[in-house]
């Protein structure tokens, strides 16, 4: 979210943390990203296993793509110079080349001749254009043409997609279906990818029970664990799921230390607010760690705390599931992507319009669950903003299409005002 760096986002007038101004979201993102350097291990994987992994080296075309001039249509290969002067013209069909045929076997096309040709077939020597079969009348071996063609018409030239040696995919590309297609097109059965980034996850809270267990009074189900397992189930992540840990300082410190020893990134949920039972920041420091980002001018997500421990990046997500989800999406997932070596770590935003106006307390940049309800008169998606007090309501994010982004300093949003929107 580059373009969130408007100066209005950087001023946070209303909200303060213990007398100190809260950290603007952009600064939190920049500082968090500066903690992450990409994994450097490389492994070779089969093409089928490359999906969702990160390309370790630039991929250049080892030969021209396409490798030979070929037909873009089903039709007839011709010499464009045969179609000079006034038409119609007649040519004799003297050969045939289908996709996969060696055009050399078909011989050279001579003046006055045409070859039957099909899409993807190599252009025979002597021919320089293809006429679509729809533009030809055929009677036995003779075709009649009523329109001339330019040289090169309906011919895919050797190297027009990618010349030999040109960059096909940059190092750091996340390999999706398109990238797998490009790698296969140059004949590679294996590809060098970066090793997975290892992420250890545990949730804190003495109130948490596992789904499937029964709840005693005061207890709730651990939704963050499953939500974060789902968010972290990526082919480029090696997940160490450490379950839940009670709000006990010693247990939490031990869990932090063991997580930091086995992972590049430690993600926890809960225990980062200012209550007496919020032990994470203190225990991280007691274990020799440091915090770089905390008390953020963000709603939800003010308690998000990011730092380091034993060479691992530490991400303490807030306990409220909506806040955990939002801070993961907007800030922490970008840190994970950077650690994994992905060059593209932006969060994609689109421009939308607010359906209704409202007023608000300034100070924190807000990520408000919103639903797309239609299109405005000028064609932008129009969004309805959901409940003001949404931080603890997981049902609300399930009803929303994304987050409308409200600048920190805004005190009112007019009906029809343009906002950024992060799609979920």
- Give Dmax over CA atoms of the chain in angstroms: 94
Q: Which is nearer to ligand AMP, 70 or 320 (CB)?
A: 320
Q: Which is nearer to ligand AMP, 156 or 302 (CB)?
A: 302
User: Interface mask (CB under 6 A) for ligand AMP, residues 279-318, using x and -?
Assistant: ---------------------------------------x
CB atoms within 10 A of CB 108: 12
- Residue selected from 24, 159, 172, 270 as contacting Mg ion according to rule CB under 5 A: 270
Q: Which is nearer to ligand AMP, 317 or 330 (CB)?
A: 317
Residue 396 and residue 387 in contact, taking contact as beta carbons nearer than 8 Å: yes
- Residue selected from 172, 321, 402, 407 as contacting ligand AMP according to rule CB under 6 A: 321
Residue 341 partner contact from Mg ion, ligand AMP, none using kind-dependent CB cut-offs of 5 to 8 Å:
none
Q: Which is nearer to ligand AMP, 10 or 251 (CB)?
A: 251
Residue 219 is a binding residue for ligand AMP (CB under 6 A): no
- Shortest separation between residue 278's beta carbon and ligand AMP, angstroms: 6
Residue 208 is a binding residue for ligand AMP (CB under 6 A): yes
Stretch that binds Mg ion, among 36-44, 164-172, 208-216, 269-277 (CB under 5 A): 269-277
Stretch that binds ligand AMP, among 161-169, 221-229, 326-334, 366-374 (CB under 6 A): 221-229
- Name the residue number minimizing CB distance to Mg ion: 270
Residue 318 partner contact from ligand AMP, Mg ion, none using kind-dependent CB cut-offs of 5 to 8 Å:
ligand AMP
Q: Which is nearer to ligand AMP, 172 or 271 (CB)?
A: 271
Instruction: Say which residue the tokens 């190092």 belong to.
Output: 171
Alpha-carbon distance of 185 to 176, in angstroms, equals 14
Residue 368 and residue 386 in contact, taking contact as beta carbons nearer than 8 Å: yes
Stretch that binds ligand AMP, among 111-119, 142-150, 215-223, 343-351 (CB under 6 A): 215-223
* Number of chain positions touching ligand AMP (CB under 6 A): 19
CB atoms within 10 A of CB 7: 8
- Residue selected from 70, 222, 326, 410 as contacting ligand AMP according to rule CB under 6 A: 222
- Shortest separation between residue 357's beta carbon and ligand AMP, angstroms: 31
- Residue selected from 307, 319, 321, 369 as contacting Mg ion according to rule CB under 5 A: 319
Instruction: Say which residue the tokens 């003297």 belong to.
Output: 94
Residue 271 is a binding residue for ligand AMP (CB under 6 A): yes
Residue 135 burial class via C-beta count within 10 angstroms: exposed 0-12, middle 13-18, buried 19 and up: middle
Stretch that binds ligand AMP, among 135-143, 219-227, 308-316, 409-417 (CB under 6 A): 219-227
Alpha-carbon distance of 323 to 113, in angstroms, equals 72
Q: Which is nearer to Mg ion, 159 or 303 (CB)?
A: 303
Residue 24 is a binding residue for ligand AMP (CB under 6 A): no
Residue 319 is a binding residue for ligand AMP (CB under 6 A): yes
Residue 273 partner contact from Mg ion, ligand AMP, none using kind-dependent CB cut-offs of 5 to 8 Å:
ligand AMP
Instruction: Say which residue the tokens 């398109």 belong to.
Output: 178
**Which residues of the chain form contacts with ligand AMP (CB under 6 A)?**
203, 205, 207-208, 220, 222-225, 269-271, 273, 275, 278, 318-321
**Which residues of the chain form contacts with Mg ion (CB under 5 A)?**
205, 270-271, 319
């Amino acid at each position: 979210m580059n373009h969130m760096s408007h100066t209005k986002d950087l001023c946070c007038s209303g909200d303060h943390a213990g007398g100190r101004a809260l950290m603007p979201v952009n600064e939190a993102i920049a500082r968090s990203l500066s903690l992450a350097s990409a994994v450097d291990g490389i492994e070779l994987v089969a093409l089928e296993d490359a999906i969702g992994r990160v390309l370790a080296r630039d991929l250049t075309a080892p030969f021209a793509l396409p490798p030979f001039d070929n037909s873009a249509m089903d039709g007839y290969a011709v010499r464009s110079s045969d179609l000079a002067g006034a038409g119609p013209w007649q040519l004799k069909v003297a050969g045939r080349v289908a996709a996969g045929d060696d055009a050399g076997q078909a011989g050279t096309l001579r003046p006055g001749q045409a070859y039957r040709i099909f899409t993807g077939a190599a252009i025979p020597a002597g021919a320089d254009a293809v006429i679509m079969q729809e533009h030809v009348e055929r009677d036995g071996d003779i075709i009649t043409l009523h329109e001339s063609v330019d040289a090169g018409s309906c011919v895919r030239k050797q190297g027009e997609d990618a010349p030999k040696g040109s960059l096909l995919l940059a190092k750091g590309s996340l390999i999706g279906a398109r990238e797998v297609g490009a790698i296969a097109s140059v004949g590679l059965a294996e590809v060098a990818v970066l090793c997975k980034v290892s992420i250890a996850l545990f949730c804190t809270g003495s109130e948490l029970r596992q789904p499937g267990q029964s709840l005693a009074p005061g207890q709730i189900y651990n939704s963050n664990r499953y939500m974060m397992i789902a968010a972290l189930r990526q082919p480029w992540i090696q997940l160490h799921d450490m379950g839940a840990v009670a709000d006990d300082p010693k247990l939490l410190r031990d869990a932090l230390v063991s997580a930091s020893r086995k992972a590049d990134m430690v993600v926890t949920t809960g225990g980062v607010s200012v209550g007496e039972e919020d032990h994470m920041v203190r225990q991280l420091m007691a274990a020799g760690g440091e915090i770089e980002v905390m008390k953020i001018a963000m709603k939800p997500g003010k308690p998000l705390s990011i730092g380091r421990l034993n060479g691992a990046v530490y991400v303490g997500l807030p306990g409220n599931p909506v806040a955990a989800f939002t801070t993961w999406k907007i800030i922490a997932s970008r840190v994970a992507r950077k650690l994994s070596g992905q060059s593209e770590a932006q969060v994609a935003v689109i421009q939308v319009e607010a359906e209704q106006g409202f007023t608000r307390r300034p100070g924190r940049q807000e990520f408000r669950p919103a639903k797309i309800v239609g299109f405005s008169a000028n064609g932008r998606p129009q969004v309805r903003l959901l409940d003001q007090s949404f931080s603890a309501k997981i049902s609300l994010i399930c009803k929303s299409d994304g987050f409308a982004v409200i600048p920190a300093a805004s005190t009112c949003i007019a009906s029809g005002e343009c906002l950024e929107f992060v799609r979920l």
